[in-house]
Amino acid sequence: MTPLFPPRLRLRLHFGDDLTLGPGKAALLEHIRDAGSISEAGRRMGMSYKRAWSLVEEMNRAFRAPLVESARGGAKGGGAVLTETGARVLAEFRALEALVLCEGAEGIATIAALLSPEAEPAEAAPEASRSG
């Protein structure tokens, strides 16, 4: 049976209690890299500057070297860039996602084949039928 919807893989790496690195933080790093700004990266993700900055600080504290360097605004304007470490962490995370998806494709297909034909993704289910 082919599922009516493709499965999604969401990789999260938990490093003790100090850091979880997952698709959200990876996307934030990508937006900072592309926009050159923490506030613009946050806007692109629908989050406040305070939340985006908080996530950047969390990542910067957790690694040996900061992942993002920022400059305050002013006459020249501020900005933010990924450091070499930030670019490497992002690249390794995305490569790991691709590896897991590729190497796990057979297992994912096996699990998908065991789904009920009536199964539908939660976001497509009517509100009344959702539990919890």
Q: For 45-67, what is each residue's pLDDT tens digit? A: 999 999 999 999 999 999 999 99
Mean pLDDT, residues 72-84: 79
Closest CA to 88 of 59, 115, 109, 113: 59
CATH level 3 topology of 13-105: Arc Repressor Mutant, subunit A (1.10.10)
Residue 98 has pLDDT above 80, yes or no: yes
SS3 (DSSP) at 72: coil
Question: What tens digit of pLDDT does each residue of 112-129 get?
Answer: 889 887 766 665 444 443
Q: How far apart are the first and last CA of the chain?
A: 29
Q: Give dist(CA 60, CA 19) in Å, integer.
A: 10
User: Phi first, then psi: what are they for 92, rounded to 5°?
Assistant: -65, -40
Closest CA to 29 of 79, 77, 83: 83
The domain spans of the chain are 13-105
Q: What is the pLDDT of residue 7?
A: 82
Q: What is the pLDDT of residue 24?
A: 97
Cβ atoms of 64 and 85 within 8 Å: the answer is yes
Q: Which alpha helices (DSSP H) does 5-129 contain, by range?
A: 23-35, 38-45, 49-62, 84-103, 105-113
